[in-house]
Structure 1
Amino acid sequence: MDFQNQINFLKALQKNNNKEWMDANRKWYKEVRDDFIGWLDEMNVKLAAIDNEYYDTPGKKGINRINNNLMFHPNKPIYKDHFGAGLDKRPNTGDFYVEIGIERCMFAGGLWRPDPKRLRSIRDAIDYDGEELQKILNKKSFKKTFGGLYEDVKLTNAPKGFSNDHLHIDLLRNKTFAVAMEFSSKEVLKKDFGKKLISVYKEMLPFRRYLNQAVTV
């Protein structure tokens, strides 16, 4: 995978964020996209080899569109400043997200503002055995890698059906249950980047399994 070519393309795209430039450089875009899909295919195979519950996600199924959704975000530019993809992308669960951008790159996973039904399922799981999730979050290597849960909107008080003095009230008040590890594009260019992805995937796996079991059982 030629990540430098990918980053060069993204830099040029952000300087010329319009359909005319994209149309004129469609061959370059396809070259970069196909290269990324090929790399995702490689990671898909390697992750499946270390996780017996892995959901097969070929690159073409995992990669996200480079176009921003202007219907919901009309003020955003036409094209994103990154390539993103989900691996281990089982329907209706939280995948392992990979983002390669100009400045910010990221490994992330979990559930971003899940719908009310899935959010209730997560809270019910925490009510039942929240100490298990807390144990995962408190693990030294996990905290070093991700810091903690992704900071997002929280309820001021306990959610409906739970008391403010609940043992795990701080977890229950969350609306997003996700973690992320951000790094610069310089890290992507290192020879051991693939190994880094696998290492972070392993570290995140117990967290993702906890959440995915909660929303699928």
Structure 2
Amino acid sequence: MDFANLFAFLEALQSNNNKSWMDANRKWYQEVRNDFIRWLDDLDHDLATIDPMYYPTPGKKGINRINNNLMFHPERPVYKDHFGAGLDKAPGTGDFYIQIGVGECMLAGGLWRPDPKRLKSIRDAIDYNGDELVKILNQPDFKKRFGGLYEDTRLTKVPKGFHSAHPHLELLKNKTFAVACSISRKQVLAPDFSDLVIKVYQEMLPFRRYLNEAITV
């Protein structure tokens, strides 16, 4: 994968964020997109090899659209400043997310503001066995890589159906259950970048499995 070419394309796109420029450079865009998809396909194969529960996700299925949704966010530019993709993408579960962009590169996973039904399932799992999630979050390697849960909007009051003295009340107040780690452009351009992605996937796996079991059992 020629990530240097990917960054060059995105930088040019951000300086000319309009449909006319994209149409004139459609061949370059397709070249970068297809290269990224092939890289995702290779990663998909490698992750399936190391994780027996992995949900096969070909690059074309995992890659996200580069267009912003202007219907709901008309203030955004026409095109995103990154290529993004979700792997291990079983229907209804939290996937493993990869973002390579000029503004930020990251690896993330979990559930971003899940719907009420799935959020209740996660809270019920914490109520039943929150100690296991705490143990995962407090693993030294996990804390070093991700810090903790992704900071997002939280409840200020006790969630409905739970007691104010609940031992895991602060976890229950979360509306997003995800983790993420930033990666530098230097790391992306390094020859062992795919190895780093696989390592982060493995470090994140217990957390993602906990959530996915909670919402599918």
TM-score (norm 1): 0.99
Identity %: 71
The C-alpha deviation readout for 1:120-154, integer Å capped at 9, x for no partner, is 00000000000000000000000000000000011
Q: Which residue of 2 aligns with 1:174?
A: 174
The C-alpha deviation readout for 1:74-96, integer Å capped at 9, x for no partner, is 10000000000000000000000
Matches within 5 A, 1:65-214: 65-214=65-214
Letter in 2 for 1:164: S
2:82–2:103 CA contact under 8 A, matched in 1? no
Letter in 1 for 2:206: P
Counterpart-to-counterpart distance in 2, 1:123 and 1:15 = 44
Q: Which residue of 2 aligns with 1:7?
A: 7
Counterpart-to-counterpart distance in 1, 2:89 and 2:185 = 24
Counterpart-to-counterpart distance in 2, 1:103 and 1:50 = 31
Letter in 2 for 1:130: G
Counterpart-to-counterpart distance in 2, 1:111 and 1:94 = 5
SS of structure 2 residue aligned to 1:160? coil
Task: List alignment gaps of at least 5 residues for structure 1.
Answer: none
Counterpart-to-counterpart distance in 1, 2:103 and 2:2 = 17
SS of structure 2 residue aligned to 1:64? coil
Shift of 1:103: 3.2
Counterpart-to-counterpart distance in 1, 2:82 and 2:184 = 12
Shift of 1:104: 1.0
1:103–1:185 CA contact under 8 A, matched in 2? no
SS of structure 2 residue aligned to 1:99? strand
Letter in 2 for 1:99: Q
CA RMSD of superposed structures (Å): 0.5
Shift of 1:53: 0.3
The C-alpha deviation readout for 1:43-92, integer Å capped at 9, x for no partner, is 00000000000000000000000000011111000000000000000000
Matches within 5 A, 1:8-27: 8-27=8-27
Aligned residues: 217
Shift of 1:184: 2.0
Counterpart-to-counterpart distance in 2, 1:103 and 1:132 = 35
Letter in 1 for 2:43: M
Counterpart-to-counterpart distance in 2, 1:184 and 1:81 = 15
